[in-house]
Structure 1
Amino acid sequence: MRHIFRKTLLAAVLAGSTLAAHADHWTLSGDVGVHDPAILKEGATWWTFSTGEGIQVLYSGDGKAWSRGIKVLGARPAWWSTYVPAHSGLDVWAPDVVTYNGKVWLYYSISTFGSNTSAIGLLSATSVAKGDWSDRGKVISSKSGTNDYNAIDPNLTFDADGQPWLVFGSWFSGIKIVKIDKGTMKPTGSITTLAKRSSGIEGPAIVQREGYYYLFVSIDKCCAGTSSTYKVAYGRATSITGPYYDKNGKKMTDGYSSVLDAGNSRWVGPGGQDIYRENGYSIIARHAYDATANGAPKLLISDLKFSGGWPSY
């Protein structure tokens, strides 16, 4: 169930060590327990936000050794009960974080398993380190029996002109995108379908590179430990609103995609991916279920490369 695309306007924020200093697959230590990680670097500190009570937070001084921070939300915003009445507690899914126009914007989703009565919310802060989060309310919602889409798994991205867009969606009628107003940071205009898949698709993330937009998704099923069948997959398009095609030229709206990562004997069911760029280098963060730790979901980070116009690790 999650990307961060950054333009050169973030260069000052991202000053410090470069991604090129790391090995292709980063060796991580400390507390790396995450599900659906969103990754961001602010100054010299790395941050991940992930699914869990109140939005879980990890931080690191080098991107390798991680510690757990204070959760973002200590209480439920009042509006949650209006849009997702069956939701209880502080369980939050698949956050996404981006620095834009002098603020940090944190999108997140609330829902219940198997239902598309869901909502995407928004928080803002002057910086992650300060943690002065303000509730910006509902961004978009969906209701069972009313909407065909599922308003979860938000990802804020940008087109080649710097226009922000929100890509979101899970199962049901698939992955959607909508333009975002630069003032409110909420949707404006119509919703477009980017990808569908009857056997499971969610966790969208879009990055733009050398004339193409790459849509990364998680396909098949998550959330079952080492029985999970999650995979990271992708397609590309020449317009942010599609159509997106896999490597064989087949449309993602027809259920197709190309698999980037299907996991291995230890790291089962990788997905919930997020892409981060710095100084021309890209990384991909995702979770996978650790077969050596009873299927606990953990953070994985790898350099993301592009060869012949297609992504690889």
Structure 2
Amino acid sequence: MKHNLRGIFLALVFIMGLMLTFPTAEPASAAFWDTTGDNFIHDPSMIKEGSTYYTFGTGVGTGLRVIWSNDGKHWSAAPSIFPSPLSWWKSYVSNYEAHQWAPDISYYNGRYWLYYSVSSFGTNTSLIGLTSTDRIASGQWRDDGLVIRSTSADNYNAIDGDFVMDKDGNPWLSFGSFWSGIKLTKLDKTTMKPTGKLYSIASRPNSGGAVEAPNITYKDGYYYLFVSFDKCCQGVNSTYKIAYGRSKNITGPYYDKSGKNMMNGGGTILDAGNDRWKGPGHQDVLNNSMIVRHGYDALDNGVSKLLINDLYWDSGGWPTY
């Protein structure tokens, strides 16, 4: 469950991020992108428009954070989205504390769609909203309103939305954090909002529900579900890690490499961090060839920074660095 520690921590690292000049990252492997500059980010989602990379992340009091790069390595800050809160958020989440979480950017039917979360810390009184633009570089975003919400009457949490298109071109949205786990719903191709039932695709019933931040990608006949396990937002003490499974059907069931169902706590660990990068998670896979996530830098007081790797696939079709 995301709680007040998340808000306190993100506020701290945001201030630090504005004050510090970030040092060059030390490659963890040959596939590690050496990001520099203003690479402070949390819950990243990345896309490329023309020759420019844009990464969107959780905001702290000043809207959703946006950074950009011409080469994917040196990053600079761009104007935030929602520097002032939208008035309708309080109709569903009365005490969201000016934080907007976990944006997800996608391109579909000639438009860029950005899903984002607004939530009351420590509860599942939450919503996923939608904003869109025909050109990211314009900085002009249309408010497309509410997508889905959750309340204390629900056994799921409507945050961490992630767009995926199935092999037939149909749009879907996965989402979820703790409680009963990860959900999936089909979207209307025009409104980009739910048009069907909720499917349950991952859960950790024996671990306090510690699963969130879903990301689904399709490759060679399988849908691969990436999730984040355990706790974020505690700097170098974070226990976040990335896990995955796969399924022949987008609605599951998803199994890890050992054959365990992800609804029963299954999930093969892809990245649990290292001596420098603690608590990697909230991953986003691009074109099945890159994976981005945040990690807390033990050499820089636990500041959350953008990590990028080339993503490889082994002979069995499983993801690897």
**Alignment counterpart, residue 178 of structure 2, candidates 166, 171, 178:** 171
Q: Contact (CA 8 Å) 2:283, 2:291: kept in 1 or not?
A: yes
The C-alpha deviation readout for 1:46-94, integer Å capped at 9, x for no partner, is: 00000013100000011111001100112211210011111132x1100
CA RMSD of aligned residues (A): 1.2
Q: Is residue 246 of structure 1 aligned with residue 256 of structure 2?
A: yes
What is residue 160 of structure 1 aligned with on the other side?
Answer: 167
Question: Any stretches of 5+ residues in structure 2 without a counterpart?
Answer: 3-29
**Alignment counterpart, residue 292 of structure 1, candidates 288, 293, 299:** 299
Partner Cα distance (1:113, 1:194) in 2: 24
What is residue 105 of structure 1 aligned with on the other side?
Answer: 113
Partner Cα distance (2:92, 2:313) in 1: 40
**Alignment counterpart, residue 42 of structure 2, candidates 35, 41, 46:** 35
TM-score by length of 1: 0.90
What is residue 69 of structure 1 aligned with on the other side?
Answer: 78
Measure how far apart 1:35 and its partner are. 0.4
Question: Any stretches of 5+ residues in structure 1 without a counterpart?
Answer: 2-22
What is residue 191 of structure 2 aligned with on the other side?
Answer: 184
Partner Cα distance (2:228, 2:36) in 1: 25
The code of the aligned residue for 1:107 comes to Y
Q: Is residue 138 of structure 1 aligned with residue 146 of structure 2?
A: yes
What is residue 66 of structure 2 aligned with on the other side?
Answer: 57
Measure how far apart 1:183 and its partner are. 0.7
Runs of 4 or more consecutive aligned structure 1 residues displaced over 3 Å after TM superposition:
none
Measure how far apart 1:28 and its partner are. 0.9
Partner Cα distance (1:72, 1:41) in 2: 17
Aligned residues: 288
Q: Contact (CA 8 Å) 2:213, 2:227: kept in 1 or not?
A: yes
Measure how far apart 1:103 and its partner are. 0.9
What is residue 312 of structure 1 aligned with on the other side?
Answer: 320
The C-alpha deviation readout for 1:89-128, integer Å capped at 9, x for no partner, is: 2x11000001111111000001122210000000011111
Q: Is residue 207 of structure 1 aligned with residue 217 of structure 2?
A: yes
Matches within 5 A, 1:249-260: 249-260=259-270
What is the aligned-residue identity percentage? 54
Give the match's secondary structure for 1:129.
Answer: helix
The C-alpha deviation readout for 1:140-167, integer Å capped at 9, x for no partner, is: 00001x1111000000001110100000
Partner Cα distance (2:87, 2:251) in 1: 33
Partner Cα distance (1:88, 1:116) in 2: 14
